[in-house]
Each structure stands twice: as C-alpha cells, then as structure tokens.
Amino acid sequence: MNILRPTSFRQATRLCSSRIYISSRSFASTTFRLQEPRTDREKVLPIPESPSFYTTRAVYYDQTMHLEKAISRSETFLRQNYLLPLPDFAKASLPPLHPMWKDKSEMATTFKTKMTTTRYRKVTKLLNQLLDFKRIASVGGCPELAEKLDNILAMYESSKKEALLARGKRKPVVLDEYGRSYTLGKRKTASARVWIIPVKQVPVETPEAMLGLEHKEYPMTTSEIIVNNLPLNEFFTIPADRERITRPLKVAGTLGKYNVFAIVRGGGTSGQSGALAHGIAKGIVAHEPELETMFRRAKLTRRDPRMVERKKTGLAKARKRYTWVKR
C-alpha cells in the first residue's frame, strides 16, 4: 500500500534508474577493457592439435587412433571392391604372413611411453590386421592401397627383420665346377657327408649315326651308392635301411641318374641310414630345385621329424611338471 503513494513511488523509480545506470556503466567498462591490448601474461594459449594433448600418453593414443582409422578406411575400401569378406579357399591361397614388429623397448621409443604387455598386444593386433589387409589388397589388384599400408607398416617393423627371416632359411647348396654337390645329413646322433655326381651318358658313335641316318644310342648306365668305401648292400645288410636310403631317389624318379659317395659316422644303422637319406634328399634338391616343394611335403629334407615331435612333447611334459611343482 505504501508503494502507491507518490513519494515512495518516486524514491523507488530513482533507485531503479540509478542501478540501471550503474550496471550500464560497468558493462561499458568491461567492454572497453576487452578491447584493450593484452599483456604477456594474458596471451591466449594456442589450441592443441591433438585431442589427447592433456593425457599422459598423447603419442600412444594418437598413433593407435591413426591405426584404427587406417583399418576402418581399408576395410571400407576392400568391401566396396568386393574383396571382403573372403571365403576360406581364398584365404588359404593368400601368401603367408611374416610379421616382424619392433620389440617392447623399440615400441616404447616410438610411442614415447612405457609399453606394457596389454598395450603392446593391442598395437601388434592392429598392425597384424593392417598387414592382412595389405596382403589382400596386393593380391586383389589394389596396388595403391597396398603401397599406402606398406608405408604405414614400415614405421613399426623391426630393424632386424631381414636377419630374423634369414635365420630359418636353409643355405643353398652350390654345385662345384664339375657339377658335384656336397651336403650334410643328420639323424639322431648320426651324421653323413654326401657327394652326389650326375652320371654322364656318352652316346655310342656308329657309322649310321655319324651319317645322320640313325638316332644316337645311349648305353644303360647304373649308378652306384658307396658308403665308407663299401657298396650299399654290403654296408647296410638290413633291407629296411637300404629302402630308406633309396627312397629320395625313387620319389624324385632319379634312380640310376646319380652316383652317391658318402661317409657316415656315429649312431647305429637306423640313424646312419636316415642321415644318409637326409643328405641325399638335400643333394637332389640342389641338382633339381623344382623338387624342393615335393620333398618338403614328403618331409624328406627335414631332419628327423619324429625326434622333433618327441622333443616338443618332452618340453610340453616338462612344462606341465614344472607348473605342477610350482603350484
């Protein structure tokens, strides 16, 4: 009721107008201050380029994010070109993978953070996926995508890749000037040094052949297998041992084509025959490289596959025994 009086109403309007005037002055002053030049302390900091700038592992998160983006874009491109998903027979025909990534210490230098087992597994999983896409792109006729993925993967490959890949390869057997090969075969505790020489077939010169009226005739030559200066049947009296030695020659279809001279040492007759067969198989592959795949599938160029399996089973049993004792 007192507000309706003229005196009190005038006082109220004066108070409100003064407040509005003060607020407008303060607003003008603030706007004026914003237009003033800033000092060194009030300079605006630049916006960080990385969204993970304020984390403790910015480089790690950025690199993983880039790898994930590369995986998603590559998968989209391959799906658009009908290269994904692949059937099982197409996956089996792809070339094998040889991933050789940096170890934890080298990855820690690249990512500028400590690489735990979880982080290292995550990074290698992404890299293996990219490598699989690169393999599909190279075989499927997308060289541009394969080249881009190769440039990305090259940053994470180990510097010792060539040495590690060459470690499992067998050294090629070089023939000498006379066409002879020298190989070393092993089985169990026996070893065999094997020299293989091709049999020379000299044509029989007849008057008709000299005049070109008849084909040249080649005599039937027989190859010899000499072991420790003794014929094969005298050194190995057991038929199973002789069958094991001549098996590589029969598989290759070269029985009677090569002369074999060998020196065997150590082990028993079974081990010596296996070592000699191993050396003969390696020598035949040196003379005829196209037989390497067949010999590898027949396990003729492997050293004692049964002993390798026994060693694996023995290691597995030892590990189980160790874990049981540890528990």
**Strand order of the sheet with strand 181-187?**
181-187, 190-198, 258-265, 225-227, 230-231
With a pLDDT cut of 70, the percent of the chain lying above it is 71
In this predicted model, what pLDDT tens digit does every residue of 255-265 receive, in sequence order? Answer: 888 999 999 99
CA–CA separation, 301 and 187 (whole Å): 11
150-204 residue pLDDT tens: 999 999 998 887 776 666 566 788 888 888 999 999 998 999 999 999 987 665 5
d(CA 191, CA 294): 24
Taking the domains of the chain in order of start, what are their residue ranges? 58-167, 181-311
For residue 214, is it left (φ>0), alpha (ψ between -120 and 50) or beta? Answer: beta
> 54-69 burial string, b = 16+ CB within 10 Å, else e?
eeeebebbbbbeebee
So what's the pLDDT on residue 160? 82
Q: If DSSP states are collapsed to H, E and C, what string results for 155-209?
A: CCECCCHHHHHHHCCCCCCCCCCCCCEEEEEEECCEEEEEEEEECCCCCECCHHH
Return the CATH class of domain 181-311.
Answer: alpha beta
Q: Which residues have CB under 8 Å from 137's CB, separation 6+? A: 74, 78, 83, 143, 145, 146, 149
Per-residue pLDDT, 326: 42
